Amino acid sequence: MADMDPETTTNTAGEEEPLFSNLDLFLFSLIVGLVIYWFMSRKQPEPIPEFKKLDTPTPTTRETSFVEKMKKTGKNIIVFYGSQTGTAEEFANRLAKDSQRYGMKGMAADPEEYSMGELARLAEIENSLAIFCMATYGEGDPTDNAQDFYDWLQENDDEDLSGLNYTVFSLGNKTYEHYNAMGKYVDKRLEELGAKRIFDLGLGDDDGNLEEDFVSWREQFWPAVCEHFGVEASGDESSIRQYELKVHTDVNMNKVYTGEIGRLKSFEVQKPPFDSKNPFLAPVTVNRKLNKAGDRHLMHLELDITGSKIRYESGDHVAVFPTNDSELVNKLGEILGVDLDVVISLNNLDEESNKKHPFPCPTTYRTALTHYLDITNPPRTNVLYELAQYASDPKDQENMRKMASSSPEGKALYQNWVLDSCRNILAVLEDMPSLKPPIDHLCELLPRLQARYYSIASSSKVHPNSIHICAVVVEYKTKTGRFNKGVATNWLKNKLVNGHKSTVPMYIRKSQFRLPFKASNPVIMIGPGTGIAPFMGFIQERGWLKQQGKEVGETVMYFGCRHKNEDYIYQEELEEAEKNNFLTQLNVAFSRDQDHKIYVQHHLKKNKEHLWKLINTDNAHIYVCGDARNMAKDVQTAFYEIAEEYGSMTRTQATDYVKKLMTKGRYSQDVWS
């Protein structure tokens, strides 16, 4: 070894050499000691701790079995509602509440929240009954929340509902082509699947008096139920409260709703996707008056959807959530003598109910009356009935109860004093000074303020980050001398561009009002007044397709207004589109610029031969938007006449021909009454 002592290599003659020298032993001992030290001092691996399994509560899931829920809560009547504007839901709640007066227990239910495949199991509950309050939307379609139920009814031919007792009240409007289609379908389909109808289908007509139709049906319905189940009415006609008031004296204001539709603080921290429960706050970037003169206010608004990930197509609807006029809200507070800024909650007395509050709580009375409750429509008869107890004048009490009855005298009084006079809840309170209801009960009874729908007046191909609205401001004088204002249009009118609170809570509702898949198909658009809205989007899109080099069929527009120099809205845009050949033909009817009135249908009749060629030979698609009561019917009649004359058809054949166009999606309507 290089470092070994030289002495170890020198040997004395005759001496025996030892096996290990002292140095060897020293070095060996040193190495062994170091090894032992290394082993002993090395960091021991940490033992892996044993974690106890945490007893985490199972996340609460909403009960999807309405049968189990009814068993658990002792209920035997369930009232399903298909509702788009809240009326069917309101009627369902009233029927569920009624059941208590007949010794039964009912619950209102959204079919979207439950498994409708359990209808057959309802027979497990004694004296059970399913009531369906079904509204019809659009072209005979189910409402959004009843779409899955409708699909289930269509798809399940083998379902046996022989143990199900049911009845249907349907909500519709006679001015529409498919009057009460959804209610009629549900009534017929349940019978086909073996269910037992215990009372006749009720048909409510919103073009007439929907409230009266419902009250008349309900008055006959309950005696039929009592007879069927062998029960008697309790005779208790007193008011039945559904919610109890809690006043919050010490509350964190960050936990208080200030107008949000769903999630608390959702207007401060916006998170997609945006829908009816989570609207997007869109800034207003344009708000201009469209008409040049006249006493009306027609307006064009543009909403900025940049960064929202919202997508829309031409023909879709934009839904906006308006707020009530602060002047009306303040007057309600004054007449009831309450502090509107008190923080409250209205809590459902039925703890098992999915609907814990009538509107987002906790909140203030001011927020509830501004954002959540409908205070401008005439109150329904059930509201008058429930509030009658708070009138100190016996005559007022008598009249309010009479208006809520189904007697001819009561119906006439309600029609004249409430509906024809357009009295809202404030007007009722002002004209009945003895009526002083507690504000919490009033808030419980008033229906929810609903979103308003507008046909989108733009194309996403041209305006991907902007949604355009075209609307006329509603304002009129009532028989009582009051001025009533449309909630949404007046609210939109006052939205200042880039001003304080110039945002609009909105979401998109998809529509079947669509341009043809093949751009080469001609389109015939009929839209007088603000009915032109979706066609502005159609024209923009057809123009864009042409610029992309696509083959685009004829694009024909029939527009109508009162006076050329007053309300010919979008005149510049339409004439520019015609000049660029985006519009191949522009026909405008000015109804009041001459002695005799000229409407869009008159222009259609002038161009019969050309229209027949487009429809019968070139597979044109027809679109009608606007007034359902008169215009849409007159336009349809004009097409019957064209088919009669140029297709050599009888009126019956012509009617069938147009109906077939509708079935094939070649005659579409986006109309309102």
Report the amino acid identity of residue 194.
G
288 annotated ligand-binding residue: no
Q: State yes or no: 472 annotated in a binding site.
A: yes
Of 152, 222, 544, 672, which is the active-site residue? 672
431 is catalytic: no
Helix (H) or strand (E) holding 151: helix 147-155
Specify the 3-state DSSP secondary structure of 505.
strand
Active site residue 314: no
555 is in an annotated binding site: no
Catalytic residue among 314, 455, 458, 460: 455
User: Any idea what DSSP says for residue 614?
Assistant: I
166 is in an annotated binding site: no
Consult the annotation and say whether 316 binds a ligand: no
Going from the C-alpha of 635 to that of each of 614, 626, 630, the distances in angstroms are 16, 11, 9
Using DSSP's 3-state secondary structure scheme, residue 284 falls into: strand
Is 671 among the annotated ligand-binding positions? Answer: no
Indicate the pairing of strand 77-82 with strand 106-109. Answer: parallel
Angstrom distance (rounded) from CA 365 to CA 370: 8
Per DSSP, the three-state class of 485 is strand
* 413: CB partners within 8 A, 6+ apart: 399, 402, 403
> How many whole angstroms separate alpha carbon 150 and alpha carbon 143?
9
- 340 known member of a binding site: no
Q: Which of 170, 314, 625, 668 is catalytic?
A: 625
User: Is 487 labelled a binding residue?
Assistant: yes
> Is position 136 annotated in a ligand binding site?
yes
Does the annotation list 598 as a binding residue?
yes
Neighbours of 344 (CB within 10 A): 21
81 is in an annotated binding site: no
178 has binding-site annotation: yes
Q: Is 175 annotated as a binding residue?
A: yes
Q: Is 625 a catalytic residue?
A: yes
- Does 180 show up as a binding residue in the annotation? yes
Name the amino acid, one letter, at 447: P
Residue 530 is assigned to a ligand binding site: yes
In sequence order, what are the beta bridge partners of 587? 558
Hey, CA dihedral for 271, 273, 279, 284, is it positive or negative? positive
Residue 621 assigned ligand-binding role = no
**End-to-end Cα spacing for the chain:** 112
DSSP type of residue 279 = -
The widest CA-to-CA distance across the chain, in whole angstroms, is 154
| 135 labeled binding residue | yes
Does the annotation count 670 as an active-site position?
yes
Query: Is 60 annotated as ligand-binding?
Result: no
Residue 449 DSSP one-character state: P
For residue 123, how many other CB atoms are within 10 A of its CB? 14
> What residues have CB less than 8 Å from 72, skipping those under 6 apart?
352
600 assigned binding-site residue: yes
How many residues are present in the chain? 673
Active site residues per annotation: 455, 625, 670, 672
Would you list which residues are annotated within the binding site for NADP(+)?
Answer: 296, 530, 591-592, 597-601, 634
Binding-site sequence positions for FAD: 452-455, 470-472, 476, 486-489, 672
Binding residues for FMN: 83-88, 135-138, 171-180, 206
Binding-site residue numbers are 83-88, 135-138, 171-180, 206, 296, 452-455, 470-472, 476, 486-489, 530, 591-592, 597-601, 634, 672
